[in-house]
Structure 1
């Protein structure tokens, strides 16, 4: 073979069989190059989708609860879905603002911020087996506390220790701040002797263990708390309950392909409703008392926009101003911003 190949080269042109060999070799080499390039730089369509998870307890707990559902989402989309679970609302808000999340399960305030900047769009809303349309913010005390009602809290400024949620938490901060404190021209951060900012689980533990005198929470998270910490739950008492807060929502990036957004929406709204309903419902129960997801759009966030507006307006009315004109200018701006936001939410395309 070696002699034949050299002889062929001496004549200046390969023999036909040898030419075919070189052609096949060239094609093979080209294929290897293409394969190596594809391995080194996967197409954008193949990159994993990042799913942001609203903090429930700790990050590891949230990851464990959501993983079975996300496995099903991967199987349906034929695409990797990687969870991003953080310990704070602020951490999740930052990831959303930096476009590091493709879809997420979030509360109304987080969704409102993302949607108002045109980064995300609502595609589904949580539903519960009891048919409720939302949940309630509550104030908790230890069952033997001298605080028997919310009026007892306000009778002693600067006396009690307060455990609340982050500023982006609807039930842990926005709603009680608007309906209880701003309504009385007060600010919870200056009203109490001390303030702890933590998640719902830790705040409930603080109240039960008398590390805080008053703590915010919500009816949905308290049900989960009762299952995980029955002894501590038995030591708690509710002294105030808010008006109804709509359930959390699923949001998706607006710059994802429309076909992909539709498949994601179909997955959530059809989950626990088909032939595998029983098994899928069991996976939802790991997350929370969730029965499924209903179709939803940005207009679902209107109540959250109203709550945030109410809080800001009450704060403005209770603040000190150099003159009435300055107050009126602030109120006018709040009104204008609120009207523009409502128009944006209601007119957003599906």
Structure 2
């Protein structure tokens, strides 16, 4: 009885002990109503997966993707029902996928040996704009339908130039994208058919970049990061400006090696949500702050499970407490990852027998990924 009571007490106290510094939380985007935050995270231990969580950063956490490779740059459709994202790092293996906002209905939209990535939705929700290779290994801007058909190339710049990270302004009258030659990104605005490109930030010298632009929902301001003040590979700050690129307002003061990244405007609460890495080997966390850069608050943690990884009585994990071995009864093949209560992954096993004799006595979590499910199963256990 004492053991059971101790176990229950530990479970109840978990929300107070989760660590927040052993994973990356990156690229926050908000649902149109501002109630849900989508982001990429390495909290599962191996690579970036896409999660959603309430806008407080901790409630109703749900993992949406389950596969090998990084899932990056999630984008939310205007009606909030769909998520598009890049699967894979930059290069010929990167492809674009779309899914429902609960992770169901996953569909691959591009399938070739060319880079396709960084998707965004048009304001009417009928088109995806993205970066991709044409006949060279330098990205251009493309559009396609939500099912991957009707791929149309919008830009065709000569030479070794990059056209990347495209997005529409809120009324769909302009496309903004990053243009670069070599670590010198700046932003360009053009018509939806690719005509009349205009620089909205000045072309930079090597090492100075403006990137990760986002619009205020009312089209009144843009936010992006710049290395204007920190220089190459030494950090970046967030800037708010008018949509034509004028009236820069620097709202952060990065230390050397500190990165303020991917700022987005909340549609209602007057806050900016962003990722920050203080440098010196640190990790990215998600923060919010006032629009003037004051009252910064970290809202992310590294909890590796949520409502998408609930306990399941059909899975038998025994003995509990375990001494030398933990056994899992489940009808299909499984992968088991063992986590500490702080959210740190300490062991990965492919199979239904897990050796735990080397673990320090205490509480642990077995996160079980069956081959026949798109969700993980969480089972807490004690090591004695």
Q: For this structure pair, what is the TM-score category when the shorter chain's length is used for normalisation?
A: under 0.3
Which structure shows the bigger proportion of residues in strand conformation? 2
Structure with max Cα Rg = 1
Structure 1-normalised TM-score? 0.23
Q: Which has the higher contact order (CA 8 A, sep 6+)?
A: 1
Q: Normalized against structure 2, the TM-score is what?
A: 0.22
Give the helix-richer structure, 1 or 2.
1
